[in-house]
Amino acid sequence: MLTLTENACTIVKQMTEVPEAADSAGLRITEAEAGFAVTATNQPEAGDQVVEQDGATVYLDTTAAEKLDAMVLDAGVDDTGSIQFGLVAQA
């Protein structure tokens, strides 16, 4: 199952703990043409796998869940203030 680094948990919570967000808000990862698409969402879609870690919630569509099964999601903020996500294999 996908795991998150401490940085990823912090950034996911910052992205989803906004006043207009639902209690079920999380980050959704889906397979895209050139990798994966990451979006904030208020709830999972049917069939999504739910990953909850340290107060952060990530939803994975079926294909992303399969491909990211043994991966670690990391995140950071670059010099321009943009959020960058990265994946590494679990040790």
The confidence score (pLDDT) of residue 84 equals 93
- Assign residue 8 the CATH number of its domain: 2.60.300.12
Going along the chain, which residue ranges are E strands?
Answer: 3-4, 26-32, 35-41, 49-53, 56-60, 71-77, 83-89
The confidence score (pLDDT) of residue 80 equals 95
Domain residues for the domain of 80 are: 3-89
The confidence score (pLDDT) of residue 91 equals 76
Q: What is the pTM of this model?
A: 0.92
The confidence score (pLDDT) of residue 34 equals 86
Task: Give residue-wise pLDDT tens across range 39-82.
Answer: 999 999 999 999 999 999 999 999 999 999 999 999 999 999 99
Length of the chain: 91
Structural domains in the chain (count): 1
Sign of the C-alpha dihedral computed for residues 44, 49, 3 and 38 taken in this order: negative
